[in-house]
Amino acid sequence: MTRQLRLSLGQEPEAPSFDAFVRGPSNALAVNAVEAWPAWQGGCLAILGQKGVGKSHLARAWAARVDALILDPRNPDVGAAPGRPVLLEDADRGASTEGLFHLINLAAREGGGLLLTGRTRPSTWPTALPDLRSRLNAFPVVEIEAPDDTVLEGVLRRFFRDRNIRPPEEVYPYLLTRMRRSIPDAEAIVKRLDEAGDEGFRPVTRVLARQILEAQGALDL
């Protein structure tokens, strides 16, 4: 079966949702904290973690559930925010100082809420506004750690399913003990296995997985 045909027969990639989010020990605290809205301290929460741990998926799952506005952190439309929950992604990478200050104040009002994502704690973000400094220092945070085996296996299965591929069960533990610990790496490995299988008219097996990992220098030994 060609790659194009398998993709056409496979499922469409799932939109970010809590049902599609793969849970495990590495993200359990973050999921529980996000799902506790609207009981956040001051209506605010920041999800922290390095690239590829699932911050954006979890944040957008929340946004879809609560019908949150997703605003540009560098130029947020504060006028549209009163009475609405708001999501700002990558807020640690140049968010508007005045916009962030107003959104934090609005988050505590009825119907409001503010979810931020970033790699560093709000207490370390630069600002010249003393009032914003105090709010950032006290901003509630929750961290997603590097994906554990439960999460990585879950996302591997999802990526294979999206491509209508059913590898032997032995492929999963083989990949888990050798791949780099990130969701983008899991997606990249599945994509390369799919392409390599088509190029050589080969099924996705443990042997093919080893060849791909060696070729990419992705073995995490």
Q: Is residue 7 predicted with pLDDT exceeding 80?
A: no
pLDDT of residue 221: 38
Spatial CA neighbour of 163 closest among 14, 3, 22, 1: 3
| Distance from C-alpha of 183 to C-alpha of 96, rounded to nearest angstrom | 29
pLDDT of residue 37: 97
pLDDT of residue 215: 82
- SS3 of the chain: the string is CCHHHHHHHCCCCCCCCCCCCCCCCCCHHHHHHHHCCCCCHHHEEEEECCCCCCHHHHHHHHHHHHCCEEECCCCCCHHHCCCCEEEECCCCCCCCHHHHHHHHHHHCCCCCEEEEEECCCHHHCCCCCHHHHHHHHCCCEEECCCCCHHHHHHHHHHHHHHCCCCCCCCHHHHHHCCCCCCHHHHHHHHHHHHHHHHHCCCCCCHHHHHHHHHHHCCCCC
Predicted confidence (pLDDT) per residue in 135-177, tens digit:
999 999 999 999 999 999 999 999 999 999 999 999 999 999 9
Other C-beta atoms closer than 10 Å to the C-beta of 97 total 14
pLDDT of residue 220: 47
Q: Is residue 3 predicted with pLDDT exceeding 60?
A: no
Stretch 34-46: mean pLDDT: 97
| Distance from C-alpha of 6 to C-alpha of 3, rounded to nearest angstrom | 5
Q: Is residue 187 predicted with pLDDT exceeding 60?
A: yes
Stretch 34-60: mean pLDDT: 96
Share of the chain above pLDDT 90, in %: 84
Stretch 12-33: mean pLDDT: 90
- With contact defined as beta carbons under 8 Å apart, do 122 and 136 qualify? yes
Non-local (6+) Cβ contacts of 193 within 8 A are 165, 167, 204, 208, 209, 212
pTM: 0.86
Task: Calculate the average pLDDT of the chain.
Answer: 91
Going from the C-alpha of 48 to that of each of 30, 45, 87, 171, 195, the distances in angstroms are 9, 10, 14, 31, 33
Other C-beta atoms closer than 10 Å to the C-beta of 108 total 14
Predicted confidence (pLDDT) per residue in 89-138, tens digit:
999 999 999 999 999 999 999 999 999 999 999 999 999 999 999 999 99
Alpha-carbon torsion, ordered 107, 112, 117, 120, to 10 deg? 10
